[in-house]
Each structure stands twice: as structure tokens, then as C-alpha cells.
Structure 1
Amino acid sequence: MVGFDHCDVIRGKCVLDDLNKYAFRIRTAMNKIQREINIKMQSQFGLELTRPQLYVLKLISDEEPCKMTDLAKGLGVNASTISTMINRLVQDGLISREYGSSDRRNVFVSITQRGNDVLKQHLQNYSEVLQQYLSHLEPKELETFVRNFEKIASISSC
């Protein structure tokens, strides 16, 4: 694997400058795809969810009922941060919140039917939008793109 220090100079040019430009282009493309998905979600459900909200919804779906303190720990956020996000998801009718019978400090969240519907539709919309974009690539280009994307995803930042 090739790595770059703070500013390796190749042919008189700072490599990080190029990496920053590529990172910006990738971020711009990903944001465009996310906006398109959000537009579909807005028209279908009348709501727009952020990526972190969708991630939390998926986690709750996979692990319900989920204790809020465990959710916060798993996400590496404090209780107030997760409470704010949970409040919004409850308000939108995507999850329900229940308090422990023996200790009301224990708060459990579960996904609602509406939450399941929204999550399922989001995953379908995401797949459709990606397929729409990927269909413009030739098979060889697509294979190269996926291989490189998987390579990037496999690199641990920890």
C-alpha cells in the first residue's frame, strides 16, 4: 500500500493538494446521490432523514428493543446527543420509546411499522439511485470502480 506523509512532493507538486481535490469531488458526488435519495423520501413519506438518523434507525431495527445508553455507547456519543436524535425519530413516528418498569432511567427504543416501512423504502431508493448511476458505466469501468471502492472501504482508519 502506498501512503503519503504530510506533503510528499511528486514532480514538484504536493500530493495532498491532489488528494484534497479528489476528496472534495468524491464528497460532492456522494452528496448529490444523497440529495436525490432525500428527494424521493420527501415525496414518499414527507420527511427527510440524515445519514446518522438512518444509521440509528437501522441499528434499532437490527437490535430492538435497544437500550438508549447501549445505543449511545455503541455510537460513541453522549446521552444528550442520542436523546436529541431519538426525540426526532419518535416525533416522526419511526420509533417508539418505553421506560423500564423497575427503573425509569432505563429507556428502550424499538422501530415502529412506519419506521420499518421508511427504512425498507430508503434501502430500495438507495439501491435504485445507485443502479441508475452505475448503469452509465461500461462493465469493465464498473468492475474497476467497485474494486477500488472496496479497496478504500477495507482500509481501516483506526
Structure 2
Amino acid sequence: MPRNEYPLSKQVSLNNIVRVQQVIDFFVLSELQRGRLYGSELEQQIITALGKQSPRHVGVNNGYLSARLKKLAEDGHVTRVWEGDNRYNRYYSITPQGNDYFKQLLKELPDQVDLAIQTYTNFKHYINRYGQVPLD
């Protein structure tokens, strides 16, 4: 086939299927639907939710979670309240604007997750094609 006779064009870039920040934002905002929580409690909820059917416990980098919580607060999606003089005792609560953002994510993420599952399944099949190649 001559070069570019039947070019395929991408509709979505691999790095935009589901962004990690969207996943973290969704977890945070969904957990805050129940009421205010400490940042460490939010982290534990993420680990619990992502590890339910797996022997591995997947979580999020503490620094990245802190950065997302800070960004969510700056954007008006959550409020941060200090509890006592310990700088680690920070409670988070969702705001009305955060509820709107949560609803937006709830609409967008299911299709993105389905696409991610399909893409990674295809990638796994691609990897398996090379599973018989000696690595040493």
C-alpha cells in the first residue's frame, strides 16, 4: 500500500482517554457527598475503592492528592478547614460548585472509562503477541 493511501486519523489521544486528575477529582467529590472528611480519609477511600476485587492495593501519590485537593479548593469545588494546630488535620467539604463539577464528571467519565477499558484490552492483546519473544 502506498504511503498515506488510507490514513487513519485519531479521534482521541491516548493521554486524554481518562485523565488521572479527573479520576481523583471524581473520587474526592463522590466521597464528600457523605460529608466532610480528612484528606487522609479520602486517600483511604480511594485505596479501598480501587482495590476491591484485586489483591493489589492501588492508590494515589500523597503529593498529587494534596495538589488536587488544593486545586479543587482554589477552583471553589471544595472548602478546606483546619482542625486544631496540626497542619495535617484538614477537613474537606464539597461546595455547590463542586456538586456541579461532580455531575459533569458523572456524565463524561463512564464513556471515557469504557474507551479506556477497550483501549487497554487491545493493548494487552498487542503485548501478548510479543509474549514469546526471548527477553535475554
More helix by percentage: 1
TM-score, normalising length: structure 1? 0.43
Higher relative contact order (CA 8 A, sep 6+): 2
TM-score, normalising length: structure 2? 0.49
